[in-house]
Amino acid sequence: MSASSPLRQQILLVDDEEDALIELAESLENEGFVCYTATSVTFALQELTLHPDIALVITDLRMPEESGISLIKRLREHTSRSHLPVIVMSGHADMDDVSDLLRLQVLDLFRKPIYLVRLLDTLNNLFPLYKSFR
Protein backbone atom coordinates (compact mmCIF):
# COMPACT_ATOMS: atom_id res chain seq x y z
CA MET A 1 0.00 0.00 0.00
CA SER A 2 1.52 3.29 -1.06
CA ALA A 3 1.13 6.57 0.78
CA SER A 4 -0.49 8.13 -2.28
CA SER A 5 -3.42 5.70 -2.34
CA PRO A 6 -4.26 4.52 1.15
CA LEU A 7 -6.86 1.80 1.46
CA ARG A 8 -9.87 2.87 3.44
CA GLN A 9 -12.49 0.96 5.38
CA GLN A 10 -14.02 -2.32 4.30
CA ILE A 11 -17.65 -2.06 3.18
CA LEU A 12 -20.16 -4.81 2.49
CA LEU A 13 -22.60 -4.05 -0.34
CA VAL A 14 -25.80 -6.12 -0.48
CA ASP A 15 -28.15 -5.99 -3.47
CA ASP A 16 -29.92 -8.64 -5.54
CA GLU A 17 -29.33 -6.53 -8.68
CA GLU A 18 -25.85 -7.72 -9.58
CA ASP A 19 -25.13 -5.01 -12.20
CA ALA A 20 -25.95 -2.23 -9.73
CA LEU A 21 -23.86 -4.00 -7.08
CA ILE A 22 -20.79 -4.20 -9.32
CA GLU A 23 -21.16 -0.58 -10.44
CA LEU A 24 -21.40 0.69 -6.85
CA ALA A 25 -18.46 -1.47 -5.73
CA GLU A 26 -16.27 -0.12 -8.55
CA SER A 27 -17.22 3.48 -7.73
CA LEU A 28 -16.38 3.06 -4.04
CA GLU A 29 -13.18 1.14 -4.77
CA ASN A 30 -12.08 4.08 -6.95
CA GLU A 31 -12.35 6.17 -3.76
CA GLY A 32 -10.08 3.72 -1.90
CA PHE A 33 -12.69 1.66 -0.07
CA VAL A 34 -12.40 -2.13 0.03
CA CYS A 35 -15.74 -3.58 -1.07
CA TYR A 36 -17.22 -7.01 -0.60
CA THR A 37 -20.49 -7.86 -2.33
CA ALA A 38 -23.41 -10.15 -1.61
CA THR A 39 -26.59 -10.77 -3.59
CA SER A 40 -28.65 -12.02 -0.62
CA VAL A 41 -28.90 -11.83 3.16
CA THR A 42 -27.45 -15.36 3.41
CA PHE A 43 -24.37 -14.38 1.39
CA ALA A 44 -24.08 -11.11 3.35
CA LEU A 45 -23.90 -12.99 6.65
CA GLN A 46 -21.22 -15.26 5.16
CA GLU A 47 -19.16 -12.23 4.05
CA LEU A 48 -19.46 -10.69 7.53
CA THR A 49 -18.13 -13.92 9.03
CA LEU A 50 -15.26 -14.13 6.52
CA HIS A 51 -14.30 -10.45 6.89
CA PRO A 52 -14.56 -9.33 10.53
CA ASP A 53 -13.07 -5.90 9.74
CA ILE A 54 -16.07 -4.78 7.67
CA ALA A 55 -16.87 -1.32 9.03
CA LEU A 56 -20.16 -0.59 7.22
CA VAL A 57 -23.00 -2.38 5.44
CA ILE A 58 -24.87 -0.78 2.55
CA THR A 59 -27.93 -2.88 1.76
CA ASP A 60 -30.86 -2.82 -0.59
CA LEU A 61 -34.22 -2.79 1.16
CA ARG A 62 -36.21 -5.06 -1.17
CA MET A 63 -34.70 -8.42 -2.10
CA PRO A 64 -36.50 -11.63 -3.14
CA GLU A 65 -35.59 -14.06 -0.33
CA GLU A 66 -35.04 -11.81 2.69
CA SER A 67 -35.25 -8.04 2.98
CA GLY A 68 -32.62 -5.56 4.03
CA ILE A 69 -34.64 -5.03 7.21
CA SER A 70 -34.25 -8.74 7.98
CA LEU A 71 -30.47 -8.38 7.57
CA ILE A 72 -30.37 -5.35 9.87
CA LYS A 73 -32.46 -7.14 12.52
CA ARG A 74 -30.02 -10.07 12.42
CA LEU A 75 -27.08 -7.69 12.81
CA ARG A 76 -28.71 -5.90 15.74
CA GLU A 77 -29.34 -9.25 17.49
CA HIS A 78 -25.73 -10.42 17.00
CA THR A 79 -23.71 -8.99 19.89
CA SER A 80 -20.39 -8.42 18.09
CA ARG A 81 -22.13 -6.72 15.14
CA SER A 82 -25.01 -4.98 16.93
CA HIS A 83 -23.55 -1.49 16.43
CA LEU A 84 -22.30 -1.94 12.87
CA PRO A 85 -23.37 1.13 10.85
CA VAL A 86 -25.87 0.39 8.08
CA ILE A 87 -26.98 2.48 5.12
CA VAL A 88 -30.09 1.39 3.24
CA MET A 89 -30.81 2.00 -0.44
CA SER A 90 -34.23 1.56 -1.97
CA GLY A 91 -36.37 2.64 -4.85
CA HIS A 92 -39.53 1.64 -3.01
CA ALA A 93 -39.34 2.64 0.68
CA ASP A 94 -42.63 3.58 2.32
CA MET A 95 -43.38 5.19 5.70
CA ASP A 96 -43.57 1.82 7.49
CA ASP A 97 -40.10 1.00 6.16
CA VAL A 98 -38.77 4.36 7.31
CA SER A 99 -40.24 3.77 10.77
CA ASP A 100 -38.58 0.33 10.97
CA LEU A 101 -35.27 1.77 9.77
CA LEU A 102 -35.33 4.51 12.40
CA ARG A 103 -36.05 1.95 15.11
CA LEU A 104 -33.15 -0.18 13.86
CA GLN A 105 -30.82 2.85 14.01
CA VAL A 106 -29.95 2.95 10.33
CA LEU A 107 -27.38 5.60 9.49
CA ASP A 108 -29.04 6.83 6.29
CA LEU A 109 -31.55 5.96 3.56
CA PHE A 110 -30.71 6.55 -0.10
CA ARG A 111 -33.17 6.37 -2.96
CA LYS A 112 -32.15 4.30 -5.95
CA PRO A 113 -30.49 5.01 -8.23
CA ILE A 114 -27.83 6.10 -5.77
CA TYR A 115 -26.60 9.67 -6.04
CA LEU A 116 -22.89 8.85 -5.67
CA VAL A 117 -21.76 12.35 -4.62
CA ARG A 118 -24.14 12.33 -1.64
CA LEU A 119 -23.10 8.79 -0.68
CA LEU A 120 -19.42 9.77 -0.81
CA ASP A 121 -20.15 12.81 1.38
CA THR A 122 -21.75 10.48 3.93
CA LEU A 123 -18.84 8.01 3.76
CA ASN A 124 -16.22 10.77 4.01
CA ASN A 125 -17.96 12.15 7.11
CA LEU A 126 -18.14 8.67 8.62
CA PHE A 127 -14.60 7.67 7.63
CA PRO A 128 -12.52 10.84 7.18
CA LEU A 129 -9.23 10.61 5.32
CA TYR A 130 -6.44 11.60 7.64
CA LYS A 131 -4.04 14.05 6.09
CA SER A 132 -0.45 14.18 7.21
CA PHE A 133 0.79 17.43 8.70
CA ARG A 134 4.26 18.76 8.00
Task: Say if residues 82 and 114 touch (Cβ distance below 8 Å).
Answer: no
Instruction: Report the mean per-residue pLDDT for the chain.
Output: 90
Query: How much is the pTM?
Result: 0.90
Query: Cα–Cα distance between 44 and 39 in angstroms, integer?
Result: 7
Residues 6+ apart with CB under 8 A from 68: 14, 41, 59, 60, 61, 62, 88, 90
Q: What is the DSSP letter of 62?
A: -
Q: Looking at residue 92, what is its pLDDT?
A: 81
pLDDT band for 95, please (50, 70, 90 cuts).
confident
Model pLDDT for residues 1-56, shown as the tens digit of each residue: 344 456 789 999 999 999 999 999 999 999 999 999 999 999 999 999 999 999 99
What pLDDT score was predicted for residue 9?
Answer: 94
Q: Is the pLDDT of residue 134 over 70?
A: no
Query: Does 74 have pLDDT greater than 90?
Result: yes
Report yes or no: 55 and 10 within 8 Å, Cβ to Cβ: yes
Domains of the chain: 10-125 (3.40.50.2300)
Q: At what angle do helices 41-50 and 68-77 cross, to 10 degrees?
A: 40
Burial class (CB in 10 A: 0-12, 13-18, 19+), 61: buried
**Which residues make beta-bridge pairs with 10?**
34, 54
